[in-house]
Amino acid sequence: MRLAELSKRSGVSTATIKYYLREGLLPPGRRVSATQAEYDEEHLRRLRLVRALVQVGRVPVATAREVLAAVGDESVDQLSRLGTAVSVLPHGPAATGEDGAVDTARRTAEEVQRRLGWRFVPENPAHGMLVSALAALIRLGYPCDVEQLLPYGRAAATIATHEIALIGEFEAPTTQLEAAVALTVLYEPVLLSLRRLAQAEEAGHRFGGGPAPG
């Protein structure tokens, strides 16, 4: 298909597609004349992922390029590709300062993962993100001991089991990886909004004799 059709089918403007091509987020089309190129279904699929990352997930363009490189790196096995792709996604600010709060947060984060039966991988940036979030709770004096965290961890495990099974339904390995990365980003606001809706419902039962008004 030509650029105009790629734009129409993806809902992404031709100017934005050209920008993604220049930035290397989209592989070049097959040149058919001096001024025209031909694009295929793979371009369309890749474009969806780029939009998910950049427009919805607000991932910086340079980071998106790294994620896509990891997804497409056929020199390593699928699990390594997935691990690398997800690990270069933004993880929020790392824990700052080497005060007692960070030490306690590190110990708590490790213990939670051990109690949940997960292998502890200190290099996983999600571990750094957890340490940073726990350090903030500790500094502000809010509860975040291991017992408080386990229900969140168990809920996360249930969700992850569902997600990884879903991804396994996609056919080609590269398509699976693209879906894994896109769904990781796109389901974050889904989960957070459902949590707030559930809180309103539960607060209604506890404090109001009925569900919360909003």
Residues 23-52 that bind a copy of itself (CB under 8 A): 48, 51-52
Q: Does 143 participate in binding a copy of itself (rule CB under 8 A)?
A: yes
Instruction: Report d(CA 188, CA 173) in Å as an integer.
Output: 23
Give least dist CB 120 to a copy of itself, A. Answer: 9
Instruction: Report d(CA 214, CA 92) in Å as an integer.
Output: 29
Residue type at 8 in one-letter notation? K
Give least dist CB 150 to a copy of itself, A. Answer: 9
Q: Indicate if the alpha-carbon torsion angle 21, 66, 178, 53 is positive or negative.
A: negative
Within 161-200, which residues bind a copy of itself (CB under 8 A)? 161-166, 168, 179-180, 182-184, 186-200
Give least dist CB 4 to a copy of itself, A. Answer: 19
Cα–Cα nearest to 105, from 140, 150, 152, 144: 144
* Cα angle for residues 25, 52, 177 (degrees, 5° grid): 75
Torsion of CA 139, 142, 146, 151, to 10 degrees: -140
Q: 37: left (phi > 0), else alpha (psi -120 to 50), else beta?
A: beta
Which residue number, 9 or 37, has a Cβ lying nearer to a copy of itself?
A: 9
Q: Does 73 participate in binding a copy of itself (rule CB under 8 A)?
A: no
Q: Does 94 participate in binding a copy of itself (rule CB under 8 A)?
A: no
Q: Does 115 participate in binding a copy of itself (rule CB under 8 A)?
A: no
Which one of the spans 22-30, 34-42, 65-73, 112-120 is the region binding a copy of itself (CB under 8 A)? Answer: 112-120
Q: Locate all alpha helices (DSSP H) within 171-213, ordered by sequence.
A: 173-203
Which one of the spans 20-28, 29-37, 63-71, 146-154 is the region binding a copy of itself (CB under 8 A)? Answer: 146-154
Q: Does 96 participate in binding a copy of itself (rule CB under 8 A)?
A: no
